[in-house]
Structure formats: C-alpha cells, structure tokens
Amino acid sequence: MSHAKTQRRKGQSFFLFASLRLCVSLKKSADKYLMRVLAIDPSLRSTGFAVLERLPGSKTRALEFGIIKNAAKLLPSSCLVAIHDRLAELIHKHQPECAAVEGIIFVQSHRTAITLGAARGAAILALAQRGIPVFEYAPKDIKQAVVGRGGADKNQVAFMVRALLGLTETPTFDAADALAIGMTHFQNHDSAQRGVKILSPI
C-alpha cells in the first residue's frame, strides 16, 4: 500500500473518531439542564416549594414539588425552624443555582402580615446562608406569566401549571403556586438575556 493511501486512511479514521466524539459531546450537552431553580411560596403552615430545570430548547421540567406542612399545634417558632430545615434539605439534594419567591402581598390583618413575613424570612435565610441568589415576583405577575391574566384564581393557576409542565396530576394550590413562581423566573430570565429587562436579586 502506498504512503499516500495509508495517510488518507489514517485521516479518514481520525475524522470518524472525531465525529463520534462530537456526537457524544452533543448528546451530553443536550441531556444537561441549563438552569435549576428552587421556587417557594412562603406560608407558616403550608409553604409550597418546587424544583424546576430549564432544559435546552426552552423546555421546563419539574423535578420535585410539594408543601412543607406544619401542624396547627406546632408553635410558630418551631414552624420557622421546620421551613428552614426542609428547604436546606432541598438545596443540598438538588443544588439549585438560584431561587424565586413570591413577593410581599397586601393583607388587611397585621398579624397575618407578620406571620407571612416570618415564614418568608425563614425561607430566604436558608437560601442566603448557602449563597443562592433570590429573586421575587409579585403575585399578579406570576399569574400573568402562567395563565395570561393577573387576576386568575388558584384553580386556573393549578390547571395551567399541570398543562404546561405535563404533570400527571394537578398539584395542590400551594405547590402549584411554587411551580408557577419557578416558571415565571425562567420567563423573566429569558427576557433578561434578550435585554428586555434587568433581574436583580433581593
């Protein structure tokens, strides 16, 4: 066999090997998520949480969601510890790059406002202790992002969340709110990347 033919075959073999490596690399990139967020709907007795991933192609997947349920007999201070500790577990398990929470809502009762503020503080503390940036979104903006109407009710939010994420069951209201918060963050992140808006952590 001539030297030229030998070199040509070596070149073809190298090209095939390089192509296979590139395909494997592309497959790994396609399987890897682009961003993971821990979304939280704070409440003293029933904090909603959700861990979502943004995948290539602007697809979103829910990894885990549910509520942190605190019994009525549990002292408020113990509820705050339970919220903090459960979120710390989720952070350790899923390693989110960022977090999103519902913004402060208007309530007529000062007691309710203090209670919600305390639950929100316990959640944010768990995130801040681990250096996770936290973004907040107003309730009407969350409903607008998921349902298309800022005045949507909880049933509509839960229905749309199930449909958009392809869930096999309708989540509870608190879990659905957390899922909606996470989806809202992804939408706002996309807008920020296009230069439409600026995201600032709290």
* pLDDT of 49 over the 90 cut: yes
Mean pLDDT of the chain: 85
Tokens of 74: 């549990």
| Residue of 53, 102, 136, 177 marked active site | 102
Residue 3 above 60 pLDDT?
no
Active site residue 141: no
Structure tokens at 185: 């963050």
Please indicate whether residue 177 is annotated as part of the active site. Answer: no
What percent of the chain has a predicted confidence (pLDDT) above 70?
A: 82
Residue % of the chain over a pLDDT of 90? 66
Instruction: Pick 51 or 28 by higher pLDDT.
Output: 51
Distance, CA of 133 to CA of 129 (rounded, Å): 10
Specify whether the CB–CB gap between 176 and 187 falls below 8 A. Answer: no
41 is catalytic: yes
Report d(CA 61, CA 165) in Å as an integer: 6
Q: CA-to-CA distance for 152 and 148, rounded, in angstroms? A: 8
User: What residue spans define the domains of the chain?
Assistant: 1-32, 33-193
Residue-wise pLDDT tens digits, 4-46: 444 444 444 433 333 323 222 333 344 477 899 999 999 999 9
The active-site residue, picked from 41, 53, 136, 177, is 41
Catalytic residue among 53, 136, 174, 177: 174
Task: List, for residues 84-120, the tens digit of each pLDDT value.
Answer: 999 999 999 999 999 999 987 776 678 888 899 999 9
* Strands of the sheet with 35-41, listed across from one edge: 59-69, 46-55, 35-41, 98-102, 134-137
Alpha-carbon distance of 4 to 200, in angstroms, equals 61
**If one looks up domain 33-193 in CATH, what number appears?**
3.30.420.10
Give, as one character, the DSSP assignment of residue 171.
P
